[in-house]
Amino acid sequence: MKPSRLAVALSLAFVVGTAAGEDLVQIYREAQRNDPTLAAARASWLATQERVPQARAGLLPNVGATAAVNANEGRATLYGDPRIVNDNVYAASSLQISASQPLFRPQNVVALSQAQRQVEQADYTLAQQQQDLILRVTIAYFDVLLAQVNVELAEAQKAAVSEQLAQARRNFEVGVATITDTNEAQARYDAIVAQEINARNDLDNRRTALRAIIGRMPGELKRARPGFQTTLPEPNVLEHWLDRALTDNLSVRISGYNLDVATLEIARARAAHLPTVDLVASAAHALGSGSLSTNANSQSRSTLLGLAVSVPIYQGGFVDSRVREAIALQDTARQNLEGARRSAVSNAQNGFTGVNSAAASVTAFEQALRSAQTALESNRLGLEVGVRTNLDVLNVTQQLFQTQRDLAQSYFNYLISLLRLKAAVGALTEQDLEDINRRLQG
């Protein structure tokens, strides 16, 4: 049987992509350069790198210098005898250099440990944002493709129903059909026109969402190749992915570092009860060209080397309050870690079942599409010989287009579920995006 115009339209609506167009990796590379969320994450990562040098500074020597030059004019009167007056103009200068080296400052040692963990945590935070960008780009890309499919399916469906409407009118004019067939076809045609308008509006919205990521309106996007094959997770065992999620999920790792920092904060708060010991040294040199009582020049030098010990005795209960606060924040971090673990397990399970169910859906909808195309051809032939009505053909046509739309959605759900599963176990990389891009393009 010769393929119908409808079957050809359905084929062109989904599996045939333009040769010239932007693929998934190209869009992702542009998002890497222009996405403000990722740019902010990079800037935050750079800022966090400075916490270790700042914390280490609390354990290194502190050296300072102070210099002063003064011009003085004085007038002195002998008490009780205003005839004896001493007027004098003189200068004074001084230079002092001081240094201190912390010897025992436990709070600063803990602060350095905290900073080192925060820097390590920043790597995972940035990696999480990079994973998030991969997901956001992929979802936005497929949303645009699916919206394009909906527009083209609406156009093809409108053309098919328009053909049925024209045939119904011809049959009515020659008296072989009732006006009911014409009215039914007209009603279905009007509904499809409204669907097409909604589909075009949705396409504009999806393209705008992608624009928010890459900073410009996207051009034509490449689509899935014919013969797209699905594969199941390897290994296809749920417990494997759940175990990996508990240990490797990036949110779990980040929350673990938050707990480490909160635990160290308790030690830091308690260290405020301890004394501090510093090695201190200073050298001073002063010059003078006189004073209020004499015009004689003066010069002095002094040096100092010793230990400075500071012992906290009572600070109004501040330290104990800080310890209680740190303990409460540690419990907060512990609960957040537990929440991250549960969320990771849930995401891994959803991703795993999503891949398997989407793969099964692809197979089922591919078979359903073949059956729907066969049913349409049969109903069109039945209409020609008088055993089917125009409404039967319209209903089968509607079912065919719905199946085609569901098949496209199942393709995209499968690909996105693959990425979500990898993200749930902290293993999503650009390589995964490139693998999907190759599968789409051939």
Look at residue 222 and tell me if it is in a domain: yes
- Paired with 287 in beta bridges are 93, 299
Indicate whether 265 belongs to any domain.
yes
Contacts of 212 (CB under 8 A, 6+ apart): none
Tokens of 202: 């949705």
User: What is the distance between the alpha carbons of residues 211 and 207, in angstroms, rounded to a whole number?
Assistant: 6
Q: What is the pLDDT of residue 12?
A: 42
Whole-model pTM: value is: 0.84
State the maximum Cα–Cα separation within the chain, in Å, rounded to a whole number: 142
Distances from the Cα of 273 to the Cα of 67, 313, 316, angstroms: 36, 8, 12
Domain count, the chain: 1
Q: How far is CA 99 from CA 63, 102, 106, 280, 283, in A?
A: 4, 10, 20, 6, 9
Q: Report the CATH number that the domain containing residue 237 is assigned in CATH.
A: 1.20.1600.10
Within-domain flag for 381: yes
**What pLDDT score was predicted for residue 82?**
58
- Asked whether residue 86 is domain-assigned, the answer is no
Please check whether residue 203 lies inside any domain of the structure.
yes
CA–CA dist 278, 290 (Å, integer): 37
Q: Domain for residue 297, yes or no?
A: no
Residue 93 bridge partners (DSSP): 69, 287
Structural domain contains residue 183: yes
Average pLDDT per consecutive 10 residues, the chain (442 residues; last block may be shorter)? 41 47 92 95 97 97 94 67 63 93 96 98 97 96 92 85 80 77 84 92 96 93 74 94 96 98 97 96 88 74 95 93 97 98 97 95 90 87 77 79 87 93 95 87 58
Domain limits for position 403: 5-61+104-273+316-441
pLDDT value, residue 121: 98
Task: Report if residue 217 sits inside a domain.
Answer: yes
Strand segments (E) across 208-363: 276-288, 298-310
Residue 347 sits at φ, ψ, to 5 deg, of -65, -40
Q: Are strands 62-77 and 276-288 parallel, antiparallel or unpaired?
A: unpaired
